[in-house]
Structure 1
Amino acid sequence: MQIPLDYYRILGIPMAASDEQLRQAYSDRIVGLPRREYSSEAIASRKKFIEEAYVILSDPKERKEYDRVYLTHAYTPEKTGDSSVAVEERAMDSKTDLKSRTLGIDISQDELIGALLLLQELGEYEQVLKLGRPYLVNKNGKVVGNLGESSRAAQLTPEQTAQRPDVVLTVALACLELGREQWQQSHYENAAVSLETGLELLSNEELFQSVQAEIEADLHRLRPYRILELLALPMEKTAERQQGLRLLQEALDQRSGIDGTGLDKSGLNVDDFLRFIQQLRHYLTVAEQHKLFEQESKRPSAVATYLAVYALIARGFTQRQPALIRQAKQMLIQLGKRQDVHLEQSLCALLLGQTQEATRALELSQEYEALAFIRENSQDSPDLLPGLCLYGENWLQNELFPHFRDLKNQPASLKEYFADTQVQAYLEALPRENHQSAPQSQPNHQNHQSNHNSNVVYRSFNNHRQTPPGYSQNTTADAVSKPTNGVTPINETPTPAAPLPTAERFKNRAGAANNPARMTTTGIPTETNSHRRRKGSNIPNPQGAAGGTTRIPRQRRRTTPSNLQKRNRFILLTLGSLSGLLVLWLLVGAGVGLLQNIFFREPALQGEQLNIQINQPVIDIPDPNSQTAVDSGTLTKSSAEQIVNTWLSTKKTALGPNHEIESLNNILVGTSLASWQIVARQDKANNRYRTFEHNVNVESVDTSENQAAIEAIVTEQANFYENGQVNERKSYNETLRVRYMVVKIDGNWRIKDMSVVNKVS
């Protein structure tokens, strides 16, 4: 068969190379050997080609004639499909004129491995596959010729059989290198096909276990890239996207979940894999995320549970299935034992029409930015519902929906959600909140109250629903048409004839509550009327802080004039006795003091005396185990540096040998706290710890009212220990520019987020 090679490429020199460069190239090629897995016969065959190229090019006469033919061929259009430049046909007699020689190297079957080795070293991986695979496919010893076309048939000689493992190795290595090239070009699925081809070849031949392990390692590291590439394909590519989901499930099973400690050999630690999951969410639909994360939450996995909650809320809202939102609310109860999810619980209760429960959950939340927004947009309302509704719409559209492939451009309208008949039917079937029961003082309303689950949100967004039979509708016309000063939700521009926006509708509801004669659109009296209850019923606590109820006694004892006189006499007698005892105690105390001054006089002290108490130190003594106090005043570069140093000091203790994980609560909040707690717990569970040395230089501080952004240069030298032994591979010393997002909570600065801007060194 013919091999597309030329002597200059074999030696790795340009055509204009000098004699000295030629000798040096020859020496380097002879000394440089291929991988140790190759046999001595393969190495000898390679050496034979190199020596022949050197012999031709080192002879001035031969080289001159070769250059002429070489240039003629280089600038002559090829008539065949192969554009490679080749050398003269070595099978011809050496005395034959070079002019008559055809370009290309004709080789015998025994010389195939040497030629493949040279092509492999030159990066001609496609040529190696083109020439080597047909040779291996023939199981009966038939030789397959150039370009995969059958040539003369012959039985393989013992020498040819002996070189088969070398050919297998060369083809497999070509697949490996070709896959790496495609990986670098971001053709991840093509790279996987090349790698799997090489692995399958070696596995079928049961050869070279070390090379198989090398290819398998690359496939494991490539898998996250493949998953992203496959899931990002158009939705019409169903089979390919399903393959991506299968690969993702394989990785999750090997890692024992999203936040598991298993090894999938991808090279991603827990934090990296969490970021990977966050990235791939943008390529999954809401239904795909629902199925995936709900299944993963059963491992159990806190992260998967949280993501499943988001998918349930998004799917329940957009597909008008409140049952999914109720399921999300139940899952949040479990999460609430370990982290603050009161804001999400409040939003779920709102979407289920449970307004008082939504308000109570909101009061327990520590999401201060969200609470500030909600309060700001509820200033003219007796409760927080207007702001909560506006926040809910913004949260759904701007924070939740963008994480789902099919919801990125989906608008969020609570009005349309509550106007849906399927939503209305489900909400009315829900058990009613005790504190939101309808009044029972009017007998003709009892049957209305027992059959319907009315709630404020449902009524507020259901202006177009027909009144059920037996209900009165006394809502005045101006309650719909009169504009108010409420906040208008995004994407809604109210007109006098249109239904009012979320916040305005809630303000109208509050105004109606102050008028006992006004009824809601469903005919149920407002909350003001609901306070008129029978004796023995539970009514809301006026303070509202504890959410408790006050019991009204059923009977009260009748008070008569004679009983009143006896009670007054008893009270006067008691007060007189207490007054006499008080006077007697004062007289005795004064007498004792006078005797002490006469018989036990002490030297008089001059000037103003210190107020020193035995149970209180003169100065504050700091707790030696306490964290360094973070400046809670105006944030300057100095105080910002103190915040960063406090975090780095806390990081030392949390990830150090003592694993003081609780110390993270003193400086971190939100997602940063959750992420670092996971890292610290994983280190502790796997008998790992780290030691750090830090140097901090704050570059800039950008502050607002209760939050700030700190940008600092941080040098971190870390030693990573596993089972008491330092792991040099995981240890590092690097300088990074880091941005810290801090927020003031209860007068103290806390870090809510941090990100690496760039690597300095």
Structure 2
Amino acid sequence: MRISLDHYRILGVTPQASTPYLEQVYQSLLGWVPHREFSEVALAARRRLLERSFQVLSNPELRTEYDHTLAEGETTLKIENADRIGALVILYSLGEYKAVLELSQPEAEEDDLTRSDRILVRALSHQGIGLAHWQEGNFAEAGDALELAQEELMQAGLFLHLRGELQAYLFKLRPDRVLHLFSTTDEHPGRLSQGLTLLKEMLNERGGIEGNGNDYSGMNREQFLHFIQQIRQYLTASTQEQIFAEEAKRPSLVASFLHAYCLVAIGFAEFRPDYIRRAKGIFIKLRPNQNVYLESSLCSLLLGQIEEALSEIILSKEYDTILHLAPDSDLLGNLCWYCEHCWLEKEVYPHFADLSSKLPSLKAYFAEEQVETYLEELLTKNTSEWVPSSLPRPTIPPPIWKIPLDTTPRPNQRNSPLWKNHPPKFVVARSSLNYC
């Protein structure tokens, strides 16, 4: 058979190379082994091709004749079947991985003596392609190529050590791969399920978001929390809700907190106050570990439970700032403005792929018929399960959906530290959830 190779490429030199330099390169190549797992049969075939090329190029007459052949456009060499594996090894050494894969299809018939070498050179070529993609930042493609290499080795039941190396690469690559898969789902919809599978593997290996297990990615707990924050911007609210609802069952304080945010996002965007009520229940359960009175207060506000909202905000660390957002406005007015412009717009919506470009509107939310119906029923039930008797109880104003809302920008908004557009950050310390 003929292969797209020439004597210069086999030796890795240019047509201008001198004879002494050719001999130096030739001797160096003879002493170099492309990979320790290649058999003596494959290495002998490679040596025969190296020797053949050196004999042609080191002989002035043969070299001149061969140069004329190249000038006429003949850039292939006839390779005997016995030396075919040697040609594949040389192509692999030259970094021509795609050529190796094209010339060594898995179903191709070859001598049993070269079967393991053919599988090895294919796996190494897949690995080379994967590492090249990795270096270029194409993490999804890198993972696919490395998995192909591992799959071929596993099917053959060969080269356990190399399979271990490939698995180590896949573990290390996995965080970047997940991010790349999630960030390109618009162009490649199938990547979402692939990314979710890999994410679930990482969570299980770590024992959850705050777990101490080892996923072999090299990330510590703080880095993994940052990774979770990074992936959120590429996932919809419903997808995140499924992820964090499942993770919260471990149990997980961080997952519970994020699950509540998902419920708030879905509840507000889809006019589903029942979701917001579920979120409030989660925030209530988190109180022993963290001051989340702000979040539960804002949920109460969205549920029309104004007495509870004002009672809870008094106990939050943001109370003084919200109280003085606008000197000429009351606490309820400031709380409404903060809920829409600071919380929903700046801290909730930006972390969901399907909501980040939208602007929340309290007026539209409370004007929705199904919201008003639900809140009327909730008011009729006169539920007070969320408000401990120890909380201060301000004067009860009318139902919020019947109050004309003023959500115009506050005069002091840019002087308030709460106006800063910081995404919510969370860390786990002393078994508690810290939100700042």
TM range (shorter): 0.7 to 0.9
Tell me, what secondary structure is at the counterpart of 1:675?
strand
Check 1:429–1:379 CA distance in 2 against 1; reply closer, same or farther (3 A cut): same
1:619-667 deviation per Cα after TM superposition (whole angstroms, max 9, x unaligned): xxxxxxxxxxxxxxxxxxxxxxxxxxxxxxxxxxxxxxxxxxxxxxxxx
Q: Any conservation in 1 of the 2:336–2:407 contact (CA below 8 Å)?
A: no
- The yes-or-no answer on 1:422 pairing with 2:379 is no
For 1:489, the equivalent position in structure 2 comes to: 408
How far did residue 391 of structure 1 move?
A: 0.4
For 2:9, the equivalent position in structure 1 comes to: 9
Q: Any conservation in 2 of the 1:125–1:175 contact (CA below 8 Å)?
A: yes
Tell me, what secondary structure is at the counterpart of 1:396?
helix
For 1:119, the equivalent position in structure 2 comes to: 91
How far did residue 236 of structure 1 move?
A: 8.2
Q: Any conservation in 2 of the 1:378–1:385 contact (CA below 8 Å)?
A: no
- The yes-or-no answer on 1:385 pairing with 2:328 is no
Q: Any conservation in 1 of the 2:130–2:146 contact (CA below 8 Å)?
A: yes
Tell me, what secondary structure is at the counterpart of 1:268?
coil
Tell me, what secondary structure is at the counterpart of 1:258?
coil
Q: Where do 5+ consecutive residues of structure 1 fail to align?
A: 74-84, 87-103, 144-155, 435-452, 463-486, 493-669, 682-751, 754-761
Q: Any conservation in 2 of the 1:321–1:423 contact (CA below 8 Å)?
A: yes
Q: How does 1:89-108 map to 2 (within 5 A)?
A: 104-108=76-80
C-alpha distance in structure 2 between counterparts of 1:280 and 1:222, whole Å: 15
Q: What amino acid does structure 2 have at the position aligned with 1:489?
A: T
For 2:271, the equivalent position in structure 1 comes to: 320
Q: What amino acid does structure 1 have at the position aligned with 2:374?
A: Y
How far did residue 324 of structure 1 move?
A: 0.9
1:15-36 deviation per Cα after TM superposition (whole angstroms, max 9, x unaligned): 1112222122112111111221
User: Percent identity of the aligned residues?
Assistant: 40
Q: Any conservation in 2 of the 1:254–1:264 contact (CA below 8 Å)?
A: yes
Q: Whose Rg is larger? A: 1
How far did residue 4 of structure 1 move?
A: 1.4
Size of the alignment, in residue pairs? 408
1:186-227 deviation per Cα after TM superposition (whole angstroms, max 9, x unaligned): 333333332222212111111100111112222223333332
How far did residue 163 of structure 1 move?
A: 1.7
Check 1:199–1:309 CA distance in 2 against 1; reply closer, same or farther (3 A cut): same
Q: What amino acid does structure 2 have at the position aligned with 1:316?
A: G
For 1:347, the equivalent position in structure 2 comes to: 298
Q: Any conservation in 1 of the 2:124–2:149 contact (CA below 8 Å)?
A: yes
1:233-265 deviation per Cα after TM superposition (whole angstroms, max 9, x unaligned): 455854432232222222222222122122222
C-alpha distance in structure 2 between counterparts of 1:236 and 1:114, whole Å: 40
For 2:35, the equivalent position in structure 1 comes to: 35
Q: What amino acid does structure 2 have at the position aligned with 1:420?
A: E
Tell me, what secondary structure is at the counterpart of 2:38?
coil
Q: What amino acid does structure 2 have at the position aligned with 1:7?
A: H
C-alpha distance in structure 1 between counterparts of 2:209 and 2:252, whole Å: 7
For 2:148, the equivalent position in structure 1 comes to: 197
C-alpha distance in structure 2 between counterparts of 1:127 and 1:400, whole Å: 50
1:432-456 deviation per Cα after TM superposition (whole angstroms, max 9, x unaligned): 267xxxxxxxxxxxxxxxxxx9844
C-alpha distance in structure 1 between counterparts of 2:102 and 2:236, whole Å: 41
Check 1:191–1:50 CA distance in 2 against 1; reply closer, same or farther (3 A cut): same
How far did residue 13 of structure 1 move?
A: 1.5
Check 1:209–1:112 CA distance in 2 against 1; reply closer, same or farther (3 A cut): same
C-alpha distance in structure 2 between counterparts of 1:5 and 1:182, whole Å: 25
- The yes-or-no answer on 1:459 pairing with 2:402 is yes
For 1:177, the equivalent position in structure 2 comes to: 128
User: Higher relative CO (CA 8 A, sep ≥ 6), structure 1 or 2?
Assistant: 2
How far did residue 676 of structure 1 move?
A: 6.6
C-alpha distance in structure 1 between counterparts of 2:190 and 2:123, whole Å: 28
- The yes-or-no answer on 1:67 pairing with 2:67 is yes
Q: CA RMSD in A?
A: 2.6
- The yes-or-no answer on 1:51 pairing with 2:88 is no
- The yes-or-no answer on 1:675 pairing with 2:393 is no
Q: What amino acid does structure 2 have at the position aligned with 1:417?
A: Y
Check 1:50–1:246 CA distance in 2 against 1; reply closer, same or farther (3 A cut): same
- The yes-or-no answer on 1:403 pairing with 2:351 is yes
Tell me, what secondary structure is at the counterpart of 1:412?
coil
Tell me, what secondary structure is at the counterpart of 2:429?
helix
Moved more, 222-231 or 383-392: 222-231
C-alpha distance in structure 1 between counterparts of 2:304 and 2:161, whole Å: 63
C-alpha distance in structure 1 between counterparts of 2:360 and 2:245, whole Å: 23
Q: What amino acid does structure 1 have at the position aligned with 2:312?
A: A
C-alpha distance in structure 2 between counterparts of 1:246 and 1:391, whole Å: 37
Q: Considering fraction of residues, name the structure with more helix.
A: 2
Q: Any conservation in 2 of the 1:393–1:489 contact (CA below 8 Å)?
A: no
Q: So what's the TM-score if we normalise by structure 1?
A: 0.51
Q: Where do 5+ consecutive residues of structure 2 fail to align?
A: 385-395, 411-422
Q: So what's the TM-score if we normalise by structure 2?
A: 0.86
Q: What amino acid does structure 2 have at the position aligned with 1:459?
A: K
1:103-157 deviation per Cα after TM superposition (whole angstroms, max 9, x unaligned): x222222111111110000001011111112xx414xxxx4xxxxxxxxxxxx6x
Check 1:236–1:105 CA distance in 2 against 1; reply closer, same or farther (3 A cut): closer
For 2:201, the equivalent position in structure 1 comes to: 250
Q: Any conservation in 1 of the 2:263–2:278 contact (CA below 8 Å)?
A: yes
